């Protein structure tokens, strides 16, 4: 058995790494800012994406006809691993654009929609956000009640979305709306695109400030928001199936593992440079985290391998999601403790160890067991689909 990337991937890795070192303001900084900390961070993320676009690297895995490079699963893993390690920032173009709405349009969109939207993703121009969750619809998303009524060539939307990440930065939203309130709940939902959300009449965003004191997500209110009917993706009332589309794009979460690896390296360096007494106290705990990080890496590689072999990961992706999110929470918690009192200082404080990234990462890791399907839901998936246990 030989477990390694091929020569082609390793050459690509060197190119990607050189690019990141040349184009990131602080390549040794590590953690991604999610483009959500300050306006300055957001502008830097936009600039970074426009440099990526020049190389055709916004959506390397997309087919060439849609502006990608047709990269293989293993090449995508290299991109994601390096981007994760160096904390490459995003605006919402890559996460929501390339990761979600792009693949959905490639499968379910009509030619006009593909022509209109896909090039604006691969150029880095459009910034998308996701309008799925509502105050009464999260894990049980099919209970959503935001209503859209057809009126001639338009849909008129009324209702509310919540937890809309990056909505305040985005110019485009894809959302699920109820078009038939009398049908069984999965069957009365449609998938709509809303253009130019900053200027469309009737749409209001209200910030939600998270516990890291960042404006990351929003509430979104719709009052008679009019959307052209041509912005319907797929058939009316069949939007649930459109909204659940996931393409074969890389889903190993390997970027998160690489980001955690970078954090570990910084903690090891901090321990090497510090007081020997502290070293004695924490060295074996750090060793445990290095082992756990290695396990995460191989769980991720298993997903990549399955996808490259044409298999569709199912409960295996849930295993990765739970493992990485919970490891991240433990790791950043440990990091804050290991750094002592000064470990609580935030990036604004110039004397903060490891650039003040540890308490921020700790706080940002808390919601990771909630978003992308909560860990309880993932455990249900493992129990039923992985272990074959009956529901309930
Ligand atoms: C940081 C962050 C960013 C987000 N960004 C977006 C976004 O951009 N767009 C968007 O649409 N949404 C977004 N969300 C929302 C996210 O998808 C929901 O929070 C998630 O689906 C959970 O829904 P909920 O918050 O309504 O919790 P609920 O579904 O009400 O769940 C509450 C608790 O009950 C548990 N639970 C629920 N059902 C079951 C069950 N059947 N079995 C066992 N336990 C169960 C859950 O695990 C959870 O612990 C984001 C959330 C976070 C935290």
pLDDT at 145: 98
The widest CA-to-CA distance across the chain, in whole angstroms, is 74
Which tokens sit at 5? 């990337």
Point out the ligand 1 atom lying closest to the alpha carbon of residue 373.
21
Residue whose CA is closest, atom 1 of ligand 1? Answer: 367
Q: Which among 139, 148, 35, 30 has a CA at the least distance from the CA of 97?
A: 35
250 assigned to active site: yes
Measured in angstroms, how far is the CA atom of residue 100 from the centroid of ligand 1? 18
Pocket mutation for ligand 1, best pick of 101, 371, 372, 380 (most atoms within 8 Å of C-beta): 371
Query: How many Å is the Cα radius of gyration of the chain?
Result: 22
At what angle are helices 315-338 and 357-365 packed, to 10 degrees?
A: 140
- Helix (H/G/I), strand (E/B), else coil: 102: helix
Measured in angstroms, how far is the CA atom of residue 374 from the centroid of ligand 1? 6
Measured in angstroms, how far is the CA atom of residue 138 from the centroid of ligand 1? 5
pLDDT at 248: 56
**359 CA to centre of own chain:** 20
Bridge partners of residue 137, in order along the sequence: 134
Count of residues in the chain? 392
CA distance 14 to 211: 37
Which domains, and CATH codes, for the chain?
7-91 (1.10.540.10), 128-243 (2.40.110.10), 254-386 (1.20.140.10)
Measured in angstroms, how far is the CA atom of residue 147 from the centroid of ligand 1? 21
Residues 6+ apart with CB under 8 A from 56: 67, 68, 69, 122
Q: How confident is the model at residue 34 (pLDDT cuts 50, 70, 90)?
A: very low
- Helix (H/G/I), strand (E/B), else coil: 193: strand
Pocket of ligand 1 contains residue 139 by CB under 6 Å: yes
pLDDT at 30: 55
First to last CA, the chain: 41
- Helix (H/G/I), strand (E/B), else coil: 244: coil
Which tokens sit at 55? 């190389």
Which of 250, 265, 326, 360 is catalytic? The answer is: 250
| H or E stretch at 151 | strand 147-151
Q: Which among 197, 216, 175 has a CA at the least distance from the CA of 370?
A: 216
CA distance 17 to 27: 10
Pocket of ligand 1 contains residue 196 by CB under 6 Å: no
Pocket of ligand 1 contains residue 369 by CB under 6 Å: no
Pocket mutation for ligand 1, best pick of 36, 92, 133 (most atoms within 8 Å of C-beta): 133
Q: How confident is the model at residue 201 (pLDDT cuts 50, 70, 90)?
A: very high
Is the pLDDT reported for residue 247 higher than 70?
no
pLDDT per residue as tens digits for the range 77-115: 999 999 999 999 998 898 899 989 999 999 999 999 999
Q: Which among 240, 207, 239, 204 has a CA at the least distance from the CA of 225?
A: 204
**Lowest mean pLDDT, pick from 31-45, 53-67, 222-236, 361-375:** 31-45
């Amino acid at each position: 058995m030989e477990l390694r990337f091929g020569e082609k991937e390793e050459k690509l890795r060197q190119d990607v790494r050189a690019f990141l070192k040349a184009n990131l303001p602080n390549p040794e900084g590590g953690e991604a800012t999610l483009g959500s900390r300050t306006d300055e961070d957001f502008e830097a993320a936009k600039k970074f994406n426009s440099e990526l676009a020049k190389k055709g690297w916004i959506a390397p895995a997309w087919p060439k006809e849609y502006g990608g490079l047709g990269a293989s699963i293993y090449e995508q893993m290299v991109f994601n691993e390096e981007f994760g390690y160096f904390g490459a920032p995003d605006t919402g173009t890559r996460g929501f654009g390339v990761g979600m709405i792009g693949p959905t349009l490639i499968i379910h969109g009509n030619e006009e929609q593909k022509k209109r939207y896909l090039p604006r993703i691969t150029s880095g121009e459009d910034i998308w956000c996701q309008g799925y969750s509502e105050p009464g619809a999260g894990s049980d998303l099919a209970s959503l009640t935001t209503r859209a009524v057809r009126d001639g060539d338009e849909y008129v939307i009324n209702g509310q979305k919540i937890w809309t990440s990056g909505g305040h930065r985005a110019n485009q939203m894809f959302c699920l709306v109820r078009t038939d309130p009398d049908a069984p709940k999965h069957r009365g939902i449609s998938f709509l695109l809303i253009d130019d959300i900053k200027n469309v009449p009737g749409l209001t965003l209200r910030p939600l400030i998270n516990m890291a004191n960042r404006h990351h997500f929003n509430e979104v209110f719709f009052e008679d928001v009019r959307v052209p009917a041509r912005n319907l993706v797929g058939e009316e009332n069949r939007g649930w199936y459109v909204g659940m589309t996931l393409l074969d794009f890389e889903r190993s979460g390997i970027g998160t593992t690489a980001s955690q690896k970078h954090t570990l390296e910084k903690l090891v360096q901090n321990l090497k440079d510090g007081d020997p007494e502290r070293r004695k106290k924490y060295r074996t705990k750090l060793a445990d985290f290095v082992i756990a990080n290695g396990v995460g890496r191989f769980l991720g590689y298993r997903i990549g391998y399955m996808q490259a072999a044409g298999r569709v990961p199912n409960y295996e992706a849930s295993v990765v999601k739970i493992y990485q999110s919970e490891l991240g929470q433990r790791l950043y918690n440990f990091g804050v403790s290991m750094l002592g009192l000064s470990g609580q200082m935030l990036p604004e404080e110039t004397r903060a160890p490891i650039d003040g990234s540890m308490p921020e990462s700790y706080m940002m890791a808390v919601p990771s067991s909630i978003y992308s399907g909560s860990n309880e839901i993932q455990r249900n998936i493992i129990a039923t689909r992985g272990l074959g246990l009956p529901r309930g």
